[in-house]
Amino acid sequence: MSQSKVTAGFNGLGIAPSLLEILAKLNFTTPTAIQAQAIPIAVTGKDIIGIAQTGTGKTLAFGIPLIQRLAQIKKQGLVVLPTRELALQVDEVLAKLGRGIGLKTAVLIGGASMYLQKQALRKNPHVLIATPGRLIDHLGEKTVRLNNTGVVVFDEADRMLDMGFLPQIKKILEALPPQRQMMLFSATMPPEIMKIASSYMQLPTPVEIAPTGTTASKVTMELFIVQKEQKIHLLQKILEQHRGSALVFTRTKYGAKKVAQQVRNFGVTASEIHSNRSLGQRKEALEGFKSGRYRVLAATDIASRGIDVVGIELVINFDLPASTDDYVHRIGRTARASASGHAITFAMPNERREVRDIERLIRKPLPVSALPNLPQVKRTQSAIDQPHHFSSRSNAQSSQNNSRRRRPPTKRDNFLSQFPNHSRRNQRRRPSTSGQARFR
Of 294-298, 386-390, 422-426, the poorest mean pLDDT is in 386-390
Give the pLDDT score at 162.
Answer: 64
Give the pLDDT score at 163.
Answer: 64
Please choose, from the candidates 197, 122, 124, the residue with its C-alpha nearest in 3D space to the C-alpha of residue 158.
Answer: 197
Rg of the chain over all Cα atoms, to the nearest angstrom: 25
Helices (H) and strands (E) in the chain, counts: 17, 13
pLDDT surpasses 90 at 328: no
Give the pLDDT score at 305.
Answer: 60
Read off the pLDDT of residues 73-104 as tens digits, 9 standing for 90 and up: 999 999 999 888 889 989 999 999 998 788 99
Of 60-64, 114-118, 402-406, the poorest mean pLDDT is in 402-406
Give the pLDDT score at 331.
Answer: 84
For the entire predicted model, the pTM comes to 0.63
Give the pLDDT score at 210.
Answer: 62
For the chain, helix, strand, coil in percent to 5 are 40, 15, 45
pLDDT band at 324 (very low <50, low <70, confident <90, very high): confident
pLDDT band at 392 (very low <50, low <70, confident <90, very high): very low
Type and span of the H or E element at 6: helix 3-6
pLDDT surpasses 60 at 286: yes
Q: Contact at 8 Å (CB) between 126 and 72?
A: no
Over residues 26-40, the mean pLDDT reads 91
Read off the pLDDT of residues 191-229 as tens digits, 9 standing for 90 and up: 766 777 778 888 899 888 765 555 555 788 999 999 999
Structural domains in the chain, CATH included, are 3-208 (3.40.50.300), 219-377 (3.40.50.300)
Which comes out higher in pLDDT, residue 378 or 437? 378
